[in-house]
Amino acid sequence: MSGKPKKSAKAIDRPFAAGVLAKARKVVDRYQVIIHHEDGCWYGRGVEMPLVFGDGATPEACIQDTREALALAAATLLELGERPPAPASAGLRTEQVKVRLTADEKLLLEASAKRKGFSGLSDFIRAVAVEATR
C-alpha cells in the first residue's frame, strides 16, 4: 500500500461538459431505485444500471446517493457519445420472444446475469440484446 489515503469513489476528478450532468440527472430522475437494509445501513442500485450502487444511513439518503451515482454514470456515457439506458417505465413490454437454450447455456447466462447485477435472466438478455443493436 502506498500510504496515501484512498480517494473517495464518489469524488469527481473533473467537471463534466456544460449541461451534461444536468441532462444526465434529468434522465435518471425517471430511473427505478431498489434499496435494501443490511447491517444497519441502506444500500441501493439502479434497475436500469444494475452495477451502479449507493448507500445511506436512511432510505432517503440511500436513494439520493444512488441517484447521484446513476447521474454520474449517465453523464459519463453521454460524454462518451453513448446513450444511457431508457427508464424501465418508458415503454410497456407487450411482446414476448421464446429462446431455446441447452441446460449449460442457461447456467452460463444465469451466472453472467448474476455477476453483472441483474436480478433475472430475462432482464439480462434484454439489456445485452438491446445494447448490441446500438
pLDDT tens digits for 60-80? 999 999 999 999 999 999 998
**What was the pLDDT predicted at 121?**
85
Going by C-beta distance under 8 Å and a sequence separation of 6 or more, which residues neighbour residue 28?
Answer: 46, 67, 70, 71, 74, 84
* CATH fold group of domain 20-79: Double Stranded RNA Binding Domain (3.30.160)
- Residue 49 above 60 pLDDT? yes
Going by C-beta distance under 8 Å and a sequence separation of 6 or more, which residues neighbour residue 64?
Answer: 54, 56
Give CA separation, 8 vs 12, 13, 16, 45, 110, in Å.
9, 10, 18, 18, 32
CA proximity to 44, closest of 29, 22, 27, 61: 61
> Pairing mode, if any, of strands 53-56 and 41-46?
antiparallel
Return d(Cα 43, Cα 92) in angstroms, integer: 28
Summarize pLDDT for 82-111 with one digit per residue, the tens. 888 888 777 666 778 888 999 999 999 999
Return d(Cα 33, Cα 53) in angstroms, integer: 9
Residue 134 CB-density burial (10 A; 0-12 exposed, 13-18 middle, 19+ buried): exposed
Return d(Cα 50, Cα 94) in angstroms, integer: 23
Question: Can you give the pTM of this predicted structure?
Answer: 0.62
**What was the pLDDT predicted at 62?**
96
Is residue 4 very low, low, confident or very high in pLDDT (cuts 50, 70, 90)?
A: very low
More confident residue, 1 or 113: 113
